[in-house]
Amino acid sequence: MARDVGPLYADFALTLQEGRRIEALGPLFSWEQNAEGVAWAIHPLVSIQRSTNVHNVSVDVLYPLSTLHGSGTEWRWQGLQLLSWSQGMDQEHRMTERWTLFPIWFWQRSENPERRAWALLPFYGHVEGRLFRDEIDVVLFPLWSRTRKRDVVTENWLYPLFHVRHGEGLSGWQFFPFWGREQKVPTWRTNSWGEPSLVPGHRKQFLMWPLFVESHAGLGGEDEIHQCLMLPFYAETRSTRFQHRSWGWPLGVTVRTNVATGYREVGAPWPFWVYGVGPDQSVRRFWPLAGSVRTTNVHRCFLLWPLWQQRHTEQAGLERNDTRLGLFVYREVDERFIEGRRLQRALWPLWIQSEDERGRKRLQVLAPLEPLLLGNKAVERNYSPLWSVWRAESDPDTGRSSQSLLWNLWRCESTPDSQKVSLLFGMVRYESRASGRTYWRVLGVPWNCRAERKSSLGQMRCPRSSSGLGLDVEMLRSEG
């Protein structure tokens, strides 16, 4: 039986898996231990989760304001998504540590001297592996900066007005937005297996961007792509496989054809009215009234967008239906696969319900964030206990189920052998067993009451306990 001390403390077994959970001070404190590890939280201030097998640690402080995640030697911490710290080892087991105060301070310390770097923007610095670039050098940014991504080096003056770019077979420059050109000839590159592969070239230019833009991609490859944009009159993209043309872009007439698949689409004006047909794809859209898009594995449709939307996906061994009403007011995700079925339903902000492939079910009443961030474990860990005024769980494999109202003000636990009920945070308890015995406890005092069936009078005799501690009543249901 769960142990309760009023609203201060409740200790009970988990329903959906083996383990125990402690809740204290209503929804404010929780501790849980299961097969995956140990977690405790002071909601919503802080939560700590530690995995037993893989030695992972997750710490949230006022999530998502501050988070810490670690696994072995790999650690990362962030605060307000601006201040962050991380560390990890490279392939040669040399430790690298990084500090960032975005976008002002970047600092990297490493046991490899070649990887040590720092930058204080916008004044001076050198950083590596940041902002989607392999290297960044800055002097009085935006006056001058230099970036490298793979073999492509770009030098900027008065960013983004003027830059010069060079690399393997590549050269280019721009004076934005007036004029710019770039060209790359096809080259060969050796992969990790020592086999050479062709890297196609390209040719780009613009005048008074974005009024005129032209590019040729895939030069020297199997499929060259030509793109031309003259706003607002005409836009075209064509290759040997497909062709897209637009007049009065972007809300004019659009015609798309794909020679390889036999698909043809017309939009007038795009994207509000679209009609497309092909062997493996079809589009019918009259936005926002109704629409349908079909491909080989996906079917998406809507009525009175965003009132009703549905996305049906079929893959090898998986069938998934995602239905929404009012974007997020109601959502149902139904996944069917070989092992079973997973189902999630949510009605914002009232309730969220889930069922896994083993038939284990869970219902939570009041869910202001969960339907918006479906499947977000951090939200469930830090915030769900605060507003889940009703919780219900059941496991058909073990026959166990539990219900909790107002943070265990009333709680019921059922197994194939017994049923246990706790009322007023455990001040009144009731337990019944499959043998027919029932037990009561009031304010921690047990009552042993023997119910004996006597002729037609149905009298009940409740002898006083010999312990002298008061009423000790055991109620034994008569048999027949």
> Using one digit for the tens of pLDDT, what is the confidence trace for 277-302?
999 899 999 999 999 999 989 999 99
Would you say residue 480 lies in a domain?
A: yes
What is the tally of structural domains in the chain?
1
Question: 3-state class of 424 per DSSP?
Answer: coil
For residues 147 and 136, the answer to whether their CB atoms sit within 8 Å is yes
Which residues, listed in sequence order, are joined to residue 455 by a DSSP beta bridge?
Answer: none
Predicted confidence (pLDDT) at residue 343 exceeds the cutoff of 60: yes
pLDDT for 12 equals 85
Would you say residue 477 lies in a domain?
A: yes
Alpha-carbon 64 to chain mean position: 13
H/E run at residue 386: helix 384-387
Of 50, 10, 28, the residue nearest 385 (C-alpha):
28
Structure pTM? 0.73
Would you say residue 303 lies in a domain?
A: no
DSSP 256: E
pLDDT for 27 equals 86
Helices (H) and strands (E) in the chain, counts: 2, 47
Of 109, 136, 133, 138, the residue nearest 121 (C-alpha):
138
Of 352, 401, 360, 405, the residue nearest 379 (C-alpha):
352
Predicted confidence (pLDDT) at residue 52 exceeds the cutoff of 90: no
**How far is Cα 142 from Cα 148, in angstroms, rounded to an integer?**
16
For residues 118 and 108, the answer to whether their CB atoms sit within 8 Å is yes
**How far is Cα 277 from Cα 256, in angstroms, rounded to an integer?**
11
Which amino acid makes up residue 459? Q
Predicted confidence (pLDDT) at residue 141 exceeds the cutoff of 60: yes
Would you say residue 449 lies in a domain?
A: yes
Instruction: Give pLDDT tens digits for 145-177.
Output: 999 998 999 999 999 999 999 999 999 999 999
Q: Which position has the token pair 């810490």?
A: 68
Predicted confidence (pLDDT) at residue 138 exceeds the cutoff of 90: yes
Copy the structure tokens of residue 321. 């239906």
For residues 320 and 334, the answer to whether their CB atoms sit within 8 Å is yes
Ranking 57-66, 159-168, 356-365, 432-441 by mean pLDDT, the lowest is 432-441
**Interval 195-207 mean pLDDT:** 90
DSSP 241: S
Backbone CA torsion sign across 295, 300, 305, 306: negative
**Interval 370-385 mean pLDDT:** 89
**Interval 375-380 mean pLDDT:** 88
Predicted confidence (pLDDT) at residue 202 exceeds the cutoff of 80: yes
Provide the residue range defining the domain that includes 471: 435-480
Would you state the torsion angle of the CA atoms of residues 86, 91, 93, 94, taken in this order, to the nearest 10 degrees? -60
Would you say residue 454 lies in a domain?
A: yes
Would you say residue 270 lies in a domain?
A: no
Would you say residue 305 lies in a domain?
A: no
**How far is Cα 452 from Cα 448, in angstroms, rounded to an integer?**
13
**Interval 467-478 mean pLDDT:** 34
Predicted confidence (pLDDT) at residue 450 exceeds the cutoff of 60: no
Of 261, 324, 265, 336, the residue nearest 296 (C-alpha):
261
Copy the structure tokens of residue 220. 């020297």
